[in-house]
A and B are shown apart, each in its own frame.
Chain A
């Protein structure tokens, strides 16, 4: 019995076999006799003995009330399905509304919050410009702190805005050769860092499908993180991809990671300060910092939360392997294109 005409959902009904013995005048399945000349004869009965047969593999015919019960069950299921669909569409409407709210939030963040902030920043700059000579050193230093704090506030607002946009923008999925992308990211960091303090090794990487600007930001943030939280005179970073054996092994041994089969697993390994196991989840939280603001070059604490968002949007997973004081490895799984859900 079909439940819905558009989907292949059926209910199948079974009832037990009832074996019974029927009594016939003769064996109804008895073959016709064929004589030597190829003529067919129906042989006449040769005895009056009743022919008995055990009928198996059949059941009693369906009764009308049983048909009715089945129809009623089908209607009940359709009713539940419809109600479920109605609830889903209601949820969808709510989701749409909350997306619109997010849009206006982003707008408020970029315009309305920044405007007074810019005012505070400008006026403290004007004060230094116009009255810098009248103020003593302490007064000037306090004004400079004020402008520094407004800059920090602006960075936070920008990160928040960027984060909310990451979640909403349409992904432009294309094949990306990670070898080229990682090389570009590496070149960028090598320009800004002294050559003998940074060593980035790029192993053979696959081509994945994703949004190029987001994947580029993902790799950039992971590498930037690896450089930032590193006390070694020579910072070594390795970017690579687990081979399929290692990936399958990982899927078997760590089922809780819930990696889709066929995923590529990329890693970024550093010899930095490491992360304590108890903080593995914290580092991806919004604006969560493990260190004071001025340690390790500051920053807003948005880098890894943006990484997590990008991984989520590409249907992948991210996890950490680290020993405090001995470096960290970030693993990112990227599903095969056919599993790539946006």
Chain B
């Protein structure tokens, strides 16, 4: 640790996860599984892809002063109003300033076309939302622990 430039206290905040999810109920379930996880995180939620891209752009611009506002992980729903999840994913992965942020697809779609397309566009993982609450929570906990604890992020 560099003693001449102490890390701002905000850096000690839990990592930020950007959640792009239009359904309030689905977000509540996700939020609840985050709160019940042993790995702590802060969530920033947007309901559309457009809002998410705007937020990402601003947070990248403000990165030198507020690095804590740049998400370390993006959770993206595919079935969004307006801009489709796939298009949001493409915008993130085509932007050299954003493409390094791991993006996990979180969707109900078991459609092979969707799965293939998302990985082709650069998705880092594809998770199908389980309907059963306990199973959903379990898969979310595995995902949270893997990306925020096990994996080494850039």
A contact set with B: CB distance below 8 Å: 107, 110-112, 114-119, 121-123, 125-126, 147, 150-151, 154
Inter-subunit contact B131/A111 (CB<8 Å): no
Inter-subunit contact A119/B111 (CB<8 Å): no
Closest Cβ–Cβ distance, residue A214 to chain B (whole Å): 15
Inter-subunit contact A111/B32 (CB<8 Å): no
A-B contact pairs, 27 of them (CB 8 A): A110-B108, A110-B109, A110-B110, A111-B108, A111-B109, A115-B23, A115-B25, A115-B26, A115-B79, A116-B25, A118-B25, A118-B29, A118-B108, A118-B129, A118-B131, A119-B23, A119-B25, A119-B26, A121-B132, A121-B133, A122-B29, A122-B133, A125-B134, A126-B32, A126-B133, A151-B131, A154-B131
How far is B60's CA from A186's CA once the two chains are assembled, in angstroms? 57
Indicate with 1 or 0, residue by residue over B124-154, a CB within 8 angstroms of chain A CB atoms: 0000010111101000000000000000000
**Contact (A121, B108) CB under 8 Å given A111-B79, A115-B23, A115-B26:** no
Inter-subunit contact A118/B26 (CB<8 Å): yes
**Which residue of the partner chain A has the closest CB to B29?**
A122
Inter-subunit contact B23/A117 (CB<8 Å): no
Closest Cβ–Cβ distance, residue A118 to chain B (whole Å): 5
Inter-subunit contact A115/B133 (CB<8 Å): no
How far is B111's CA from A117's CA once the two chains are assembled, in angstroms? 19
Closest Cβ–Cβ distance, residue B136 to chain A (whole Å): 8
At the interface, yes or no: B28 with Cβ under 8 Å from chain A?
Answer: yes
* Chain A residues closer than 8 Å to B131, beta-carbon distance: 114, 117-118, 121, 150-151, 154
**Which residue of the partner chain A has the closest CB to B110?**
A110
Report the interface size for chain B: residues with CB under 8 A from the other chain: 17
Closest Cβ–Cβ distance, residue B77 to chain A (whole Å): 10
Inter-subunit contact A115/B108 (CB<8 Å): yes
**Contact (A125, B26) CB under 8 Å given A110-B109, A110-B111, A114-B108:** no
* Chain A residues closer than 8 Å to B23, beta-carbon distance: 115, 119
Inter-subunit contact B108/A123 (CB<8 Å): no
* Chain B residues closer than 8 Å to A126, beta-carbon distance: 28, 32, 133
* Chain A residues closer than 8 Å to B110, beta-carbon distance: 110
Q: A-B pairs with CB below 8 Å: how many?
A: 46
Closest Cβ–Cβ distance, residue B115 to chain A (whole Å): 13
* Chain A residues closer than 8 Å to B133, beta-carbon distance: 121-122, 125-126, 147
Closest Cβ–Cβ distance, residue A153 to chain B (whole Å): 9
Closest Cβ–Cβ distance, residue B135 to chain A (whole Å): 11
How far is B108's CA from A125's CA once the two chains are assembled, in angstroms? 19
How far is B23's CA from A116's CA once the two chains are assembled, in angstroms? 9
* Chain B residues closer than 8 Å to A123, beta-carbon distance: 25
* Chain B residues closer than 8 Å to A154, beta-carbon distance: 131
* Chain A residues closer than 8 Å to B79, beta-carbon distance: 111-112, 115
Chain B 17-47 residues near chain A, CB threshold 8 A: 23, 25-26, 28-29, 32
Inter-subunit contact A122/B108 (CB<8 Å): no
Additional A-B contacts beyond A118-B108, A150-B131 (8; CB < 8 A): A110-B109, A112-B79, A121-B131, A122-B28, A122-B29, A122-B136, A126-B32, A151-B132
Closest Cβ–Cβ distance, residue A82 to chain B (whole Å): 38
Interface centre among A110, A116, A122 (most CB of B within 10 A): A122
Closest Cβ–Cβ distance, residue A105 to chain B (whole Å): 13
* Chain A residues closer than 8 Å to B25, beta-carbon distance: 115-116, 118-119, 122-123
How far is B110's CA from A110's CA once the two chains are assembled, in angstroms? 8
How far is B129's CA from A111's CA once the two chains are assembled, in angstroms? 11
* Chain B residues closer than 8 Å to A118, beta-carbon distance: 25-26, 29, 108, 129, 131
**Which residue of the partner chain A has the closest CB to B32?**
A126
**Which residue of the partner chain B has the closest CB to A113?**
B108
